[in-house]
Amino acid sequence: QVQLVESGGGVVQPGRSLRLSCAASGFTFSRSGMHWVRQAPGKGLEWVAVIWYDGGIKHYADSVKGRFAISRDNSKNTLSLQMNSLRAEDTAVYYCARDASGSFRYLDSWGQGALVTVSS
């Protein structure tokens, strides 16, 4: 079955960097678009970024554009999110999610989430 496991969360000071990873298994990773979605404590879902199945196209939410970078390694079935210049408002649970298509349509499998806390 589809499994997505995030790692790399933790506590980081404002202005510093953190890298999240998502290990995928149980499906053909190289055929699926992949997303990062976040959820601040007690808040709703906020889409962060998407990467096409081949890594050729990437899109970001305005709130993270220029600071975050999504990438994937299809040889290792791994999705990543490099987060730079972190701010307090980036504090959230970060979910990786599989798209049912090679780009973006609907998110049919989600990881358990990784908590990122930005605090001094």
Partner 1 sequence: DIQMTQSPSSLSASVGDRITITCQASQDISNFLNWYQQKPGKAPNLLIYVASNLETGVPSRFSGSGSGTHFTFTISSLQPEDIATYYCQQYDSLPITFGQGTRLEIK
Q: State the Cα angle at 88 between 83 and 97, rounded to 5°.
A: 45
The least distance separating partner 1 from the CB of residue 120, rounded to whole angstroms, comes to 27
Residue among 31 and 105 whose Cβ is closer to partner 1:
105
Residue among 66 and 75 whose Cβ is closer to partner 1:
66
The least distance separating partner 1 from the CB of residue 13, rounded to whole angstroms, comes to 27
The least distance separating partner 1 from the CB of residue 95, rounded to whole angstroms, comes to 6
Q: How many angstroms separate the Cα of 79 from the Cα of each of 15, 29, 42, 85, 105?
A: 23, 9, 26, 20, 18
Contacts with 34 (C-beta within 8 Å, 6 or more apart), sequence order? 22, 24, 50, 51, 70, 72, 79, 96, 97, 98, 99
Residue among 14 and 25 whose Cβ is closer to partner 1:
25
Q: Which residues bind partner 1 (CB under 8 A)?
A: 35, 37, 44-47, 50, 59-62, 95, 100, 104-113
